[in-house]
Structure 1
Amino acid sequence: MRVLQVCAEIFPLLKTGGLADVAGALPPALAAAGVDCRVLLPGFSAILAGLTDPVAVGELPPRAGVPGARLLYGHLPAVGVNAYVVDAPALYQREGGPYADARQQPFGDNHLRFARLGWAVADLALGADSWWRPELVHAHDWHAGLAPACLKATQAPAASVFTIHNLAYQGAFAPHHFGDLALPQHFFDVHGVEAHGALNFMKAGLYYADRITTVSPSYAGEIQGPEQGMGLDGLLRTRGAVLHGILNGVDPAVWNPSADPLIAHPYDARKLIGKTRNKAALQQTLGLEQKPDAPLFVVISRLTEQKGLHLVLHAVPRLVERGAQFALLGSGDAGMEAAFRDLASCWPAAVAVRLGYDEAFAHQLVAGGDVIMVPSRFEPCGLTQLYGLKYGTLPLVRRVGGLADTVTDTSLENLDDGSATGFVFQDFHEDAMDVAIRRALALYRRKTDWKTVQRHAMARRHDWDVAAQAYAGVYRAALGR
């Protein structure tokens, strides 16, 4: 089975969020499952820098307002996968991030930049590389959402699967941009790429793909309702028979406390002394008081309302009053950044804040923390809580999406049967989260029970080989096999 994965970012070369982690881990897992898998990526500087022995496969023709480009092929040794890269410097070689400029303003031609990616898919399916042609295209999130539409428009001989990583980000553009895309005119319709009067790349993927997946079973159900359907729930209900929820995995080559080169003291579930030492090292690094018995709550997140960070802001003073400590790594909303900085200045011995993103420091936070907080309003899958489970840093989460699918609350009955792995609350409100925090603090005081739950959490398996087998089944269904 020849499968082309299409995405805008890939770990460890380029990462803005969990999409990159999935894009970097899934292709090797598929290869291990017997799938002939390659990836297609935009020619961002970080991607080109990681491509070894690139050769020019050919020229990708311009289409209406979409510029032409060179198609390169090579190997990404950091990922362990062969890749096609769309080399179009005018589109992808820019100051700022992959989607927005240095002031965090989306690039005004994003519709063209990612339409170029979609048309490259169709060109490959039509034989742009005479040595390899995909049977199936797996497109990830709105950046690749036009790929299934381009396949349908050209009647290219390839099936398609589209994965929703976060329905909140849809790639919506003004309707007059549709004429730039070279799609048939009748594609701009409610039965097509139009949604609420706008050109919508996410809608294109959802409407034209042969199969749809998202990153947890619970989220697959939630997005079919108006609360989390983000205006596309009607279409998702219509396509419910081909919508599948597949949990993300954890790449053991990147996240493994017994062999993590980014932490000072490796450890495993049998010997947790290394975790204690990581906590002491983290407290020293952050300038927190060296108190081994103070429970350390950590957050690694984009600072947005969706992630429930306003709940965390409300909770931090109470945590400090109760003898706990708090550390955050993240960036986003300017007001939230300032509010967290203010908390750190008020309690420098108990609260530490680092703005931005640092992969090595994220590992150190997970290894040194006691509780990792993910109180999201909605969460398609979430990877942070999976890292917490792997490292014995017990997740405190809201019962929603993939968080509900992966964390089991420390209720008495779950403690009794050995299934408890964290702290779960239901209502998106600070009082509900405070009850879960109190439960965490109470368990922390019971050291034997705490270590038992840690070991249960670390024993949970969220492996990519399980996810890869599930995706292979979806591919076979899309191909009619």
Structure 2
Amino acid sequence: MQILSVVSECAPLVKTGGLADVAGALPGALAPLGVRMRTLLPAYPGLAERLEGARAHAWSTPFGAVRLLEGEAEGLDLILAQSPLYDRAGGPYTGPDRRDWPDNHLRFGLLSWLGAGVAAWGLDGWRADAVHAHDWQAGLVPTYLRLIGPEAPRAVITIHNVAFQGMFGAETLPALSLPQAMFSPEHVEFHGRVSFLKGGLAHAERITTVSPTYARELLTPSFGWGLDGLLRHRASDLEGILNGIDTTVWDPATDRALAVNYDRPRLKAPNREAVCARFGIEPAPGAPLFCVVSRMTRQKGLDLLIEALPALLEEGAALAVIGSGDEDLEQAFLAAAAAHPDRIGVEIGYDEPASHLLQAGADAILIPSRFEPCGLTQLIGLRYGTAPVAARTGGLADTIVDANAAALRSGAATGFLHAPDDVADLAQAIRRTCDVHRDAKAWSKLTRKAMSHPVGWDESAQAYAALYRRIAPAAA
């Protein structure tokens, strides 16, 4: 099968979060199953130069002239869209001032339009059997395919985070080359605005999200962000397929970012020493080293962690943090580090090699999210023998076996779960982690079980391949 993936970021080429990791890993996971995936991605600055064997095609679009570059980079089969809309300093979604680009509706309207056009009309003799659109940035792909007509390939859209919906004013409709008839509750209209994501949910053949628990949560007002009614209407077309990680990239036995490679948790110690040296911190004897690798936002529950820090410090534990985001949270963590420099270390920003080192060197990783569609951080923690301490929500609940008394006795435990949005329960989970860590035998059993937990793409890739064949049976 030939599948076109339409996405706004793709690791290792451009990454702001887990979406990029998924988009980068899925093509390789699908290849052994007879599915060839090509990825359509904006040609952000510097990307075109990384293509090997590039072939250029000029396209005329309602958004202006575009050059499509076919080629390969980092083992990925790519189509890069070159346009002045993408050739600018800053990130994929924000400028150097970290504010959203004011023309994001055009930037990702173009990406969606091209996704539909390339899939339906082909490119240099290649044509997609089906399209996989990711999140709001590709949300209009199914809408444009619907406008092309019944002969167009069918699309599946994946919700990576329903909180981000691509909302723009009604006046953007003509610029998006959408007919006025589309501005209705059955199509893209949402509370008087254009919603890219709603367009995708309304018009895709199938809808997936990134964990079974999140699929159920999305049907409720608490988690659906206003789209729960539409999702309940389409519940028979909604499926939760758990994300995986690329186990060749995330492998403590071969990871070059580590101080020492290892294949058993008891061999992590040199990496722990490296993290402590980098951050200038040291836990009390027998206490664990916690880490955080995260965007600093309230969705990630990091304001809750600030409130729970006294429990961590009372246990003699230490904390190493890498992340950036909301300025007040950045300042709160910096203030905590200034107040406890021997126990709390903070680096504002994102450093990919350092994130690998933290996963290898910490004893436990804190993920106190208020909601988490899937999460990759806990999967990496499991892979590296670093116990996740996480909220019982979304994919966190689907991938972590809580270290309650029964799970500890049976040897099934892989981490520690707590109630979402609950500082007291988060603090208790931190204390439980410290208690188990003091029992060397119990801790060894838990971390060995964590490292053996399957976190790759094998099962999920099979689920996606089966889904593509359902929506494009003629190509199966």
| Shorter-chain TM band | over 0.9
Equivalent position amino acid for 2:76 in 1: V
Equivalent position amino acid for 2:186 in 1: H
Match of 2:385 among 387, 392, 395: 392
Matches within 5 A, 1:406-417: 406-417=399-410
Determine the C-alpha separation between the residues in 1 that align with 2:311 and 2:164: 33
C-alpha contact (below 8 Å) 2:68/2:79 kept by paired residues? yes
Which position in structure 1 is the counterpart of 2:220?
A: 225
**Would you say 1:67 and 2:64 are equivalent positions?**
yes
Deviation at 1:128, TM superposition (A): 4.1
- Quote the sequence identity (%): 46
Match of 2:259 among 258, 261, 264: 264
TM-score calculated relative to the size of structure 2: 0.97
Which position in structure 1 is the counterpart of 2:281?
A: 288
C-alpha contact (below 8 Å) 2:173/2:179 kept by paired residues? no
Which position in structure 2 is the counterpart of 1:437?
A: 430
Which position in structure 2 is the counterpart of 1:28?
A: 28
RMSD in angstroms over aligned alpha carbons?
1.3
Matches within 5 A, 1:24-423: 24-56=24-56, 58-63=57-62, 66-76=63-73, 78=74, 80-88=75-83, 90-155=84-149, 156-269=151-264, 272-289=265-282, 293-423=286-416
What per-residue deviation string (whole Å, max 9, x for no partner) do you get for residues 401-449 of structure 1? Answer: 0000001111111112221111111242110111111111110110110
Matches within 5 A, 1:468-479: 468-479=461-472
Equivalent position amino acid for 2:136 in 1: W
Deviation at 1:126, TM superposition (A): 3.2
Determine the C-alpha separation between the residues in 1 that align with 2:10 and 2:420: 34
C-alpha contact (below 8 Å) 1:13/1:46 kept by paired residues? no
310-319 or 402-411: bigger deviation = 310-319
Deviation at 1:289, TM superposition (A): 3.0
The 3-state SS of whatever aligns with 2:224 is coil
The 3-state SS of whatever aligns with 1:260 is coil
Determine the C-alpha separation between the residues in 2 that align with 1:356 and 1:477: 42
What per-residue deviation string (whole Å, max 9, x for no partner) do you get for residues 78-119 of structure 1? Answer: 2x121111111x100112111111111111111111111111
Equivalent position amino acid for 2:220 in 1: G
C-alpha contact (below 8 Å) 1:396/1:436 kept by paired residues? yes
Deviation at 1:184, TM superposition (A): 2.5
What per-residue deviation string (whole Å, max 9, x for no partner) do you get for residues 158-184 of structure 1? Answer: 110100000011110011101111123
Which position in structure 2 is the counterpart of 1:4?
A: 4
Determine the C-alpha separation between the residues in 2 that align with 1:268 and 1:125: 43
Equivalent position amino acid for 1:450 in 2: W
The 3-state SS of whatever aligns with 2:121 is coil
Deviation at 1:273, TM superposition (A): 3.8
C-alpha contact (below 8 Å) 2:48/2:69 kept by paired residues? no
Deviation at 1:53, TM superposition (A): 2.0
Aligned length: 473
Determine the C-alpha separation between the residues in 1 that align with 2:314 and 2:441: 24
Equivalent position amino acid for 1:260 in 2: D
What per-residue deviation string (whole Å, max 9, x for no partner) do you get for residues 125-175 of structure 1? Answer: 233413210010000011111111111111152110100000011110011
Determine the C-alpha separation between the residues in 1 that align with 2:403 and 2:9: 36
Unaligned segments of structure 2, at least 5 residues: none
C-alpha contact (below 8 Å) 1:33/1:465 kept by paired residues? no
What per-residue deviation string (whole Å, max 9, x for no partner) do you get for residues 228-276 of structure 1? Answer: 100100000011001010111111111111111110111113xx34301
C-alpha contact (below 8 Å) 1:297/1:327 kept by paired residues? yes
C-alpha contact (below 8 Å) 1:280/1:290 kept by paired residues? no
What per-residue deviation string (whole Å, max 9, x for no partner) do you get for residues 441-469 of structure 1? Answer: 11011011000000011110021122110
